[in-house]
Amino acid sequence: MLIQRLLKQQRKVTATVSHVQQLHVVSRALSRVSSFEDAKRRYEHVNEIGNFSVVGRKAVPEFEMLSLELEHKHTGAKVFHLARADDNNTFAVGFPTIPSDSSGVPHILEHTVLCGSERYPCRDPFFKMLNRSLSNFMNAMTASDFTVYPFSTTNAQDYKNLMNVYTDAVFFPKLSEFDFLQEGWRLENEDVTNKDSPIVFKGVVYNEMKGAFSSIDMLFLQRGQQLLHTNTTYSHVSGGEPNDIPSLTWENLKKFHSKFYNFSNARFLTYGDLPLEETLQQIEKSALNRTKSTFTSSATKEDTEPVVGDVWPSPRRARISCVFDPNESSKQTSMSVKFLLHQSLDSYTRFCWNILETLLLSTEASPFYKALIDSKLAPSFSADTGFDQSTAVPVMSFGVKGIDESDCEHVKDVILNTLKTFASEPVDENRVSSILHQMKLSQHVIPSDFGLRALKYHVNMESYRFSF
């Protein structure tokens, strides 16, 4: 009996030790990523994590980082994760939001979803979190063809709290008519205390866009994009044209949300040292495992891709008018020569265009600085000058501002002649080496907001904006 009792106690002890060992293994597996080697050990050979399939993977040793692309088996939601030993963890959820007019529906929806949701029905939970959160970045942004909601924080519990607020906001917003009138547009007395005062348009987005279009630089940028991309997605103002915003109805706002803000269109972007397993579980718990009929998207694949135009057979010219500023000099004209590039530029070719931009424009020794600024032909470059990747078809622009309208033709000739001269001469290899050296040096100093920069780069490079 004594021997049996001792054997039974030994089995209990062995079982307890075994259980503790199992807990230790689980605990270690769900600890923070401690190094590049640790990230590779965890994820380099994994094909599934819970209900997510790993569809792509790449090691980035230069930044001691491993990237993973995953897809949710049941909903098709996509996750792009950067595993790196950095405690400033970043999360973003975004959607392709393709406008079909300039009513500003993507922009107004971005504001309205943050005005309360199913689990957080209070007014403006987003702004309440600004005071309570330990985050070092919180925002929401509407671009020409996508909308994204990012945040960063070094606190693990804060990361979970914010993720809950963000996912509930975008997938389960209240979208009340009152919030639409507040954030979008409404008719109201100019002086709300005086019922006899004039009736005027008001609204957070309406006023914001009126202010934006009062800037000559902003007007030049926006109209230039519209004229260059005629009959495409980019001929519309996703932020909202002040004259067109009042055409948007509350019903159309809700339809736009139902069409684009669903699981199959969702793109989750995550970065940092927190265990990916826990993040994926929380994404499911806070969003993907909650059923809702409107999450069967009415948007086809074509609906979520920007419409791009055909190549022009010949150059075009356009003129944009704006209000003259009496406080500035008499020379208030901006002009630009713009080139539509190829839609299917790969990452390497875009990298080359960035180097070319630096060679042509970025220093006082650059040919365009000498030809346009040093020569006193113009005081500064125009707002659109440079390599622009904000649209599915990239654009390269060369322009100036602060000139007389009569000088436009001469400036155009100088720009084209400078390009011809640059193309006919051998490129200074020392300058290229210097640019590459500076890029390499910059990699040795990792900024504190590296996660945000990396995710922003991914969004800009992966056109159609959020596809992998």
Contacts for 326 with CB less than 8 Å, ≥ 6 apart:
none
Is residue 45 helix, strand or coil?
coil
Q: Compute CA distances 342 → 86, 139, 225, 305, 384, whole Å.
A: 36, 31, 16, 16, 18
Is residue 270 helix, strand or coil?
strand
Q: Centre a 10 Å sphere on the Cβ of residue 193 and count the other Cβ atoms it contains.
A: 6
Query: Does the active-site annotation cover 364?
Result: no
Tell me phi and psi for residue 51, to 5 degrees.
-95, 15
Separation between Cα atoms, residue 34 and residue 122, nearest integer Å: 38
Task: Let me know the angle formed at the C-alpha of 120 by 204 and 203, rounded to the nearest 5 degrees.
Answer: 10
38 in Cβ contact with 16 (< 8 Å)? no
Is residue 72 helix, strand or coil?
strand
Among the listed residues 71, 110, 302, 409, the single catalytic one is 110
Q: Compute CA distances 255 → 205, 222, 246, 248, 297, whole Å.
A: 19, 26, 17, 11, 11
DSSP class of residue 271 equals E
Separation between Cα atoms, residue 13 and residue 5, nearest integer Å: 12
Q: Compute CA distances 257 → 146, 175, 204, 265, 429, whole Å.
A: 13, 9, 19, 11, 51
Q: Compute CA distances 380 → 75, 195, 377, 394, 431, whole Å.
A: 50, 48, 9, 23, 23
Residue entry with tokens 């098709």: 76
In the numeric block, which tokens belong to residue 183? 């954030």
Q: Residue 295: which of 258, 267, 266 has the closest Cα?
A: 258
DSSP class of residue 176 equals -
468 in Cβ contact with 80 (< 8 Å)? yes
Strands 333-340 and 78-83, by their bridges, are unpaired
Contacts for 109 with CB less than 8 Å, ≥ 6 apart:
97, 147, 253, 256, 257, 261
Q: So which residues are the catalytic ones?
A: 110
